[in-house]
Amino acid sequence: MHDGRRQVLAAANRAALALGLRPGMALAHAQAMVPDLQVAEADPEGDADALVDLAAWCLRWSPLTAPAAPEGLWIDATGCTHLHGGEEAMLAAILGRLERAGINARAALADTPGAAWALARYSARPITIVPPDAHADAVALLPVSALRLEDDTVQALRRLGIDLVGQLVSMPRAPLARRFGSELLRRLDQALGREAEPLTPVVPPEAVQQHLAFPEPLLTATALEIAIERLVATVCPLLEQVGLGARRLDLVFERVDDAVQVVRAGTARPTRHAAHLARLLRERLEGVDPGFGVASMRLVVTLAEPLMPTQATAALDGKENGEVDLAPLVDRLASRFGESRVFSLLPVESDVPERAVRPAPPLAPLTAAIWRKDWRRPVRLLTPPQPVEALSALPDHPPAIFTWRRIRHRVRRADGPERIAGEWWRRDGEVAAVRDYWAVEDEDGHRFWLFRRGDGADPATGDLSWFLHGLF
């Protein structure tokens, strides 16, 4: 990069930083320090384009992402974190994916974009998560340059002895505005959440979308519902033309005060059933705050999959064929409870009870049960198994008495032992491990599934402690 007088470094990667090179250093100086330095001409426009692409790639995490030039990305995580296993897990996953793509990134999550911007750059840790309403405290101890200010302003503040954001917050506003202009206070308010900061969302390229602007801003839920129906009614024929069905829809509300809100709806199976899509979007409406009114709405199909027309089959009795379409039900449950909480169960070929079942996405092709029906299995499985105190004669007698939750159960009848050996091909620790399972019935007729670690003879197989694993 040329700063007008000489060639300077615009940016340096981690290896170069380790060698003592810094952005802003003269190129000649840098080459003197590192003779075999690899130099590439800075390309700000190319970088900006790449950043937009990266923001579009981040749409997988949240429906609202935006580039934050020159080197950052905004991701509006409102209502998205639970889909990715929580805030911490989501940020870690994003950084992990970027790392694999060769991008060293830092992430912060806060109530306001300004605070998140500051913490991502100035926090000591690569991942910073600020609890709700704690962003003011979190930014108070950061340097004033964390407020996205011009270099001149930062220098001037430093000269006045104002180094930290917290000092700025406690100062009277009027003199600050007179001395530094409104920009300083605007940035401060944006970081503290006193002033809204709308993001300009990226729109994925080639997505099927429809925009609807209103002459009068919409305020009521009914009006928004009608608008949703219109948008869906125009988008569905567009999808049909290209032979696609929607898997994920983003509905962007642009408010009169330039704030942008997004709701996202997903489907389990590609669909272009207008009534179903409209209903999914309507159910998300309660999370939308229309503020002073919604000026326009945009419906974007962010994820679409091929959907071929199918032949409608009707049986002679006038009913549809026996297949029940569960997809609309799954969509509605998933949109309310989260995708991971609606599931089917797949049998797994394993004798270890914890591994005999695996949750699978609903509507996945399911296999028939492979479990042996003549083996006793409890209805409720306790995870993890709960330790109990039991009295039994070694090596293979059922427990005579066991105590669970301070209640003593005298065993009247028992069936066992059913020996389940560890799966050494899965984990090294299970090479010798053995569990002896007993189904027992106490004096009142309640049945329990107990196991003892170890076969009762060889100490290597287990420590002979007893556990309650399930209830019949």
Partner 1 sequence: MAATGKAARLEELREQVARLEGHGAGHARAVIPFGVPALDAGVPGGGIAMGALHEVAGAGPDVEHASAAALLAAGILARTTGPVLWASEHFDLFAPALAAVGLEPARVLHVEAGRDVLLAMEEGLRHPGLAGVVGEISGRLHLTASRRLQLAAESSGAVAFALRRGRRLGEALLQEPTAAVTRWRVTCLPSPPPLPHAPETPGLGRARWLLELVRCRGGEPGSWIVEACDAQGHLALPADLAHRPAAAPQRRGREVQHLRRAAS
Q: Considering CB under 8 A, how many residues would be counted as binding partner 1?
A: 55
Judged by CB under 8 A, does residue 385 bind partner 1? no
Residue 53 CB neighbour total at 10 angstroms: 13
**Residues 432, 461: Cα–Cα separation, whole Å:** 5
Binding partner 1 (rule: CB under 8 A), the pick from 80, 156, 381, 464 is 381
Nearer to partner 1, 263 or 440 (CB): 440
Residue 380 phi/psi, 5° resolution? -110, 130
Judged by CB under 8 A, does residue 379 bind partner 1? yes
Judged by CB under 8 A, does residue 391 bind partner 1? no
Contacting range for partner 1; rule: CB under 8 A; set: 105-113, 224-232, 424-432, 434-442: 434-442
Rg (C-alpha) for the chain, rounded Å, is 31
Judged by CB under 8 A, does residue 389 bind partner 1? no
> In the window 353-372, what residues touch partner 1 (CB under 8 A)?
353, 356-357, 359, 362, 366-369, 371
C-beta of residue 190 within 8 angstroms of C-beta of residue 113: yes
Query: Judging by beta carbons within 10 Å of its beta carbon (0-12, 13-18, 19+), is residue 266 exposed, middle or buried?
Result: middle
**Residues 207, 200: Cα–Cα separation, whole Å:** 17
Would you give the binding string for partner 1 spanning residues 310-349, x where CB under 8 A is met? --------------xxx-xxx-xx--xx---xxxxxxx--
Whole-number minimum distance, CB 377 to partner 1, in Å? 4
**Residues 133, 112: Cα–Cα separation, whole Å:** 10
Binding partner 1 (rule: CB under 8 A), the pick from 29, 380, 426, 427 is 380
Whole-number minimum distance, CB 239 to partner 1, in Å? 24
The Cβ-side half-sphere exposure at 183, using a 13 Å CA radius, reads 10
Judged by CB under 8 A, does residue 194 bind partner 1? no
**Residues 224, 284: Cα–Cα separation, whole Å:** 11
> In the window 452-471, what residues touch partner 1 (CB under 8 A)?
470-471
Whole-number minimum distance, CB 332 to partner 1, in Å? 6
Whole-number minimum distance, CB 290 to partner 1, in Å? 25
DSSP per-residue string spanning 241-289: HHTEEEEEEEEEEEETTS-EEEEEEEEEEEE--HHHHHHHHHHTGGG--
Nearer to partner 1, 110 or 414 (CB): 414
Binding partner 1 (rule: CB under 8 A), the pick from 83, 288, 382, 464 is 382
Instruction: Read off the tokens for 363.
Output: 């509507």
> In the window 435-454, what residues touch partner 1 (CB under 8 A)?
439-441, 443-447
**CA distances for 327 relative to 266, 305, 342, angstroms:** 11, 15, 12
**Residues 325, 115: Cα–Cα separation, whole Å:** 46
C-beta of residue 192 within 8 angstroms of C-beta of residue 114: yes
Judged by CB under 8 A, does residue 426 bind partner 1? no
Whole-number minimum distance, CB 396 to partner 1, in Å? 11
C-beta of residue 393 within 8 angstroms of C-beta of residue 384: no
Strand partners, 18: none
Judged by CB under 8 A, does residue 378 bind partner 1? yes
Whole-number minimum distance, CB 125 to partner 1, in Å? 31
Using CB under 8 A, list all residues that contact partner 1.
324-326, 328-330, 332-333, 336-337, 341-347, 353, 356-357, 359, 362, 366-369, 371, 373, 375-383, 398, 406-407, 412-415, 439-441, 443-447, 470-472
